[in-house]
Structure 1
């Protein structure tokens, strides 16, 4: 086996996924060297623009960029930044299609899905933060609120319209980066503080149903984590999450394809109006929220969700990576 060096960026999702991939490689007996100069193969897991300076430095190495994209067409900046790589790895067939369309040789390496059980202290901390009531049904979401792609506004508006007059139902919104002020919304609790992985695991353990009104995801780590923990998941039935979601293990919501919004293009100029993403059907979302609250679904569905996530454990993903590396 060739010597592997694995570079991981500092952005939270890259760091988490990269650490899990390194552990997956270790599970099949492949260690990573610390010095890239001594490696035969570099796996570069970072934002493509951050890799633009790294890629030319190692022209004598086989360079694999791990990258993701969330719409039907890859942005021009990614195309330029990744020109020097030998291959791209990405997490889902949806994301892979955008890279392939742009001319890259691409392989699908699914995310590792695993959630370590929270400690008693983790559980107690979350219970205190949300004033946990065992008689209340808790929907929850984990979201970068200011990113239009996550579409938190649609979820908030639909939830309030559906449940404003009901008791014993809440939506917990774990926000990161720049949190919105949600204090005036009925039955909605915002968690703005940083939570370690144990705290996030406690959310998945304590709460009842994960919800995402996203417009597009390359994968959707929080969705697959919730399914791993045996929770019902309601999410837009479009993009990378449909690699592992289906109507037997979760609740895909109807949607319409629309051009990426002007707001998104202004927020993140990598996106352009000629790209497509989804707009969730809010009436169907409301229907699914009520359905799950009333538990009108097959009792085996959460068990099926957990079983389906087992195929993304460290060992099968490590074996997938080893198979690809042996072909280099």
Structure 2
């Protein structure tokens, strides 16, 4: 079955059928974990290393952090196994799933994939590989409640690592297995911004993956705040959108709205790390009026690059949104009412950011930063 057909089938299937599929697959190819295994070396870091998503970047950061700690890690590419596009060239040699599956004996396996992709990766590695190894799921979720397929996956891990206290607190309500908040180890960039709005124009940026729920990423709120805050010529807003084909109709409508708004542009596709650094440094403010984030990787990257950050004051990004460069936008928690997608029927809340408050923050930043250049 092709990747697109599999995704379509999964989205169209009821939760009971999805659970039956995962349960049957794991019964054949995986092992339930009843006691926390000892683990140890070698370490297998499994991730979609040929993909540009935030979850894949988290796997790369995790692997690099292991090296910095002096730990030897085998990097196992699961891009194809978890049905993600190959849109990056790997920076180093990687093991295939077949290569790793042949490596028997003790060890620790860290799988950077959310359920149900986690179950797919687990089953591709197979029972014999998993025997005598400690299995850790590195999961990123964005809400306070988890769908059934996530709870099913808990039977197949010895422990779970997550990037934020927000996610850890939510997951601990579902399991007694060890849950550890292990933030993404974002390195200090080579360069950091020091001048802002030098020509009197405040440049804003929002980077997001359209496949990570358009409703959750909420780019329309950022556009609305920008339009309310500035007169034409006072500011610019760039949306860097990857995986725009995940929701082509929504993207087309949003693109039309951006084209009709002076000072707004859209960039698409994947960028190499050096190009991403240049993108951050060309802007002054990072504007993310999301409804929820499991961590908020691009928010932290923007802060590290010296940008002012205007972001919704709730969920995973609040672990690190401190200091004078971080501007938390007030919000109200509301029920998630999605008719389709991963959050359907989960009974959770997320944030509705106060667009008018974000507007005032942007105006104040424009006044402050342009005055500093006078």
Tell me the TM-score normalized by structure 1.
0.79
| Alignment correspondent of 2:178 | 105
Cα distance in 2 for partners of 1:248, 1:156 equals 24
| Alignment correspondent of 1:21 | 62
Output aligned runs, 1:72-111, within 5 Å.
72-103=144-175, 104-111=177-184
Output aligned runs, 1:252-263, within 5 Å.
252-262=328-338
Pair 260,209 (structure 1): closer, same or farther in 2 beyond 3 Å: same
* Paired positions, count: 281
Report if the CA contact (8 A) 2:166-2:316 is conserved.
Answer: yes
| Alignment correspondent of 2:208 | 143
RMSD, aligned CA: 2.4
| Alignment correspondent of 1:6 | 45
1:184 aligns with 2:184: no
Pair 168,150 (structure 1): closer, same or farther in 2 beyond 3 Å: same
Cα distance in 1 for partners of 2:323, 2:68 equals 32
Q: In structure 2, list runs of 5 or more residues that go unmatched.
A: 1-39, 75-94, 192-196, 245-250
Cα distance in 2 for partners of 1:247, 1:74 equals 32
Q: Which deviates further from its counterpart, 142-151 or 51-60? A: 51-60
Report if the CA contact (8 A) 2:105-2:131 is conserved.
Answer: no
| Alignment correspondent of 1:156 | 223
| Alignment correspondent of 2:356 | 283
1:44 aligns with 2:111: yes
Report if the CA contact (8 A) 2:232-2:262 is conserved.
Answer: no
Report if the CA contact (8 A) 1:69-1:98 is conserved.
Answer: no
Cα distance in 2 for partners of 1:260, 1:141 equals 23
Report if the CA contact (8 A) 1:4-1:32 is conserved.
Answer: yes
Structure with larger RCO (C-alpha < 8 A, sep 6+)? 1
Cα distance in 1 for partners of 2:198, 2:272 equals 23
1:215 aligns with 2:281: no
Structure 1 residue 114 displacement after superposition: 2.3
Report if the CA contact (8 A) 1:9-1:47 is conserved.
Answer: no
1:167-216 Cα offsets, whole Å, 9 max, x none, are 23111111111244121122211112332221111111121010100000
Q: What is the SS of the residue equivalent to 1:51?
A: helix
Q: What is the SS of the residue equivalent to 1:175?
A: strand
Cα distance in 2 for partners of 1:193, 1:44 equals 26
2:309 to 230, 233, 247: 233
Report if the CA contact (8 A) 1:136-1:168 is conserved.
Answer: yes
Structure exhibiting the larger radius of gyration computed from Cα positions:
2
Q: Which deviates further from its counterpart, 89-98 or 70-79? A: 70-79
Q: What is the SS of the residue equivalent to 2:104?
A: helix
Q: In structure 1, list runs of 5 or more residues that go unmatched.
A: 119-131, 300-328
Cα distance in 2 for partners of 1:22, 1:212 equals 27
Report if the CA contact (8 A) 1:92-1:218 is conserved.
Answer: yes
Cα distance in 1 for partners of 2:297, 2:68 equals 21
Report if the CA contact (8 A) 1:117-1:198 is conserved.
Answer: no
| Alignment correspondent of 1:246 | 322
Pair 273,78 (structure 1): closer, same or farther in 2 beyond 3 Å: closer
